[in-house]
């Protein structure tokens, strides 16, 4: 039995994989403490049974004054983290990105505690890039990782992104039955926030498909609250049955029934498509840092499980064209589903837990 500290910034993208690892480590009989910021304590159902420490954390950048402020709060955070480590005596510290991970990792370096980071995206994030040269291991979600400092190249361990067990269970179920003339289910999702561009383009794009195919469509579309009524009207005008929601708590179940997904390529969405094996048309969020969503989509695209359309070229005509290129026939789609599934990494949590045990051992 060992003691481990997980340090993660307060957004879902960082907290969800950290939580999955915490559960696995506790299942293995270890003690776990979480270091995060105030936002990190506001995820219902996450880390409720885990000792949680909130540290001050400064954002990097923002001009000389910004750096000064960040420097001060990082130093204060590092002091608190060192105090925590003296009491908790962790065997290893793992960071998941986000600013609150930084003071904890800096404190671990100073105390000579073994460290690792996990990167959810295909481009190393700011904090992970900053510490990559000093940590003992860099766990990645994709085989090809951008902006990795060369001195960290030897430390990389490909593990994948943990996904919810409801999604993992889809891996053992077949691609949903699809007849040449049966219902065709499309799931449209813009990530945790929804995406207006999907609302503007998808109803029109689906409306451009051949009428016999259009008649088979059944759409679930997750949209931003301000877009919902407009999108509902657009589907109704196209004669396409569509269910609209701002957030789908039962997304895994809907993913299980979907024949095709149209969505953003946030780290978790991509991991879920690969875990479940669902073909997709992806529209990477153009303003994402270092264009990381384009890189996130790359593995699925290269495997033949998805097609990616740059946001600047995402028009109804292009969507209809890419859907036809992916193939709308049951055989082509089942084939794309298999290819997507080949990118899945269902053992991500196990491999992450093995890694932290190894560096802390
Ligand atoms: C705009 C932005 O900065 N996005 C980033 C954010 O993505 P964001 O959090 O928006 O998107 P992700 O794809 O990573 O995760 C979305 C998660 O929400 C779930 N879901 C979504 C909609 C819904 O109705 N129901 C539901 O359960 C999905 O199943 C998935 O698990 O963090 C990711 C991980 O760092 C990054 O890759 C993204 O670039």
Q: Is the CB of 156 under 6 A from ligand 1?
A: no
pLDDT in tens, 269-278: 999 999 999 9
Q: Is the CB of 13 under 6 A from ligand 1?
A: yes
Q: Is the CB of 247 under 6 A from ligand 1?
A: yes
Joined together, the tokens standing for residue 319 give 């969507």
Distance CA 168, CA 264 (A): 20
How many structural domains are present in the chain?
A: 2
pLDDT in tens, 279-311: 999 999 999 999 999 999 999 999 999 999 999
Same domain, 307 and 274: yes
Same domain, 322 and 350: no
Same domain, 269 and 174: yes
Q: Read off the pLDDT band of 39 (50, 70, 90).
A: confident
Same domain, 148 and 218: no
Q: Is 119 helix (H, G, I), strand (E, B) or coil?
A: strand
Closest ligand 1 atom to 248 CA: 24
ipTM over 0.90: yes
Q: Is the CB of 316 under 6 A from ligand 1?
A: no
Tell the residue nearest (CA) to atom 19 of ligand 1: 192
Distance CA 269, CA 263 (A): 8
Same domain, 324 and 196: yes
Q: Which alpha helices (H) appear in 89-172, and where do they start and end?
A: 101-110, 126-131, 165-168
pLDDT recorded at residue 60: 64
Q: Which range of residues forms the domain containing residue 21?
A: 3-161+346-360
Same domain, 313 and 263: yes
Query: Which residues are CB-neighbours of 107 under 8 A, at least 6 positions away?
Result: 78, 79, 81, 82, 84, 85
Query: Which residues are CB-neighbours of 55 under 8 A, at least 6 positions away?
Result: 35, 36, 37, 77, 80, 81, 100, 103, 104
**Which CATH number do you get for residue 251?**
3.40.50.2000
* pTM, two decimal places: 0.93
Same domain, 205 and 234: yes
Same domain, 110 and 33: yes
Same domain, 64 and 182: no
Same domain, 115 and 181: no
Distance CA 260, CA 319 (A): 13
Same domain, 76 and 99: yes
Same domain, 329 and 355: no
């Amino acid at each position: 039995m060992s003691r481990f500290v997980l340090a993660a910034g307060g957004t879902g993208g960082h907290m969800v994989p950290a939580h999955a690892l915490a559960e696995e480590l506790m299942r293995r009989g270890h003690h776990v403490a979480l270091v995060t910021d105030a936002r990190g304590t506001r995820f219902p159902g996450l880390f409720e049974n885990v000792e949680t420490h909130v540290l001050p954390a400064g954002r990097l950048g923002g001009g000389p004054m910004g750096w000064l402020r960040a420097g001060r709060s990082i130093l204060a955070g590092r002091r608190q983290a060192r105090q925590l480590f003296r009491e908790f005596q962790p065997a290893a510290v793992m960071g998941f990105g986000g600013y609150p991970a930084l003071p904890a990792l800096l404190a671990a370096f100073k105390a000579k505690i073994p460290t690792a980071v996990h990167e959810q995206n295909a481009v190393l994030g700011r904090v992970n890039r900053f510490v990559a040269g000093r940590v003992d291991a860099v766990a990645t979600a994709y085989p090809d990782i951008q902006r990795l400092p060369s001195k960290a190249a030897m430390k990389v361990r490909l593990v994948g992104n943990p996904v919810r067990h409801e999604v993992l269970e889809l891996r053992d179920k077949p691609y949903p039955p699809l007849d040449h003339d049966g219902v065709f289910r499309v799931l449209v999702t813009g990530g945790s926030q929804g995406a207006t561009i999907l609302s503007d383009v998808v109803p029109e794009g689906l409306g451009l498909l051949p009428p016999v195919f259009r008649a088979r469509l059944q759409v679930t579309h997750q949209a931003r609250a301000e877009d919902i009524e407009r999108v509902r009207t657009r589907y109704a005008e196209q004669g396409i049955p569509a269910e609209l929601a701002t957030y789908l708590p039962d997304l895994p179940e809907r993913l299980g029934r979907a024949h095709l997904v149209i969505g953003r390529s946030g780290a978790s969405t991509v991991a879920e498509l690969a875990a479940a094996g669902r073909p997709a048309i992806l529209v990477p969020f153009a303003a994402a840092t270092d264009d990381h969503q384009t890189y996130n989509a790359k593995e699925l695209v290269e495997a033949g499980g998805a097609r990616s359309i740059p946001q600047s070229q995402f028009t109804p005509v292009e969507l209809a064209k890419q859907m036809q290129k992916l193939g709308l026939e049951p055989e082509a789609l089942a084939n794309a589903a298999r290819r997507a599934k080949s990118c899945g990494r269902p053992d991500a949590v196990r491999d992450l837990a093995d890694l932290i045990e190894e560096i802390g051992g």
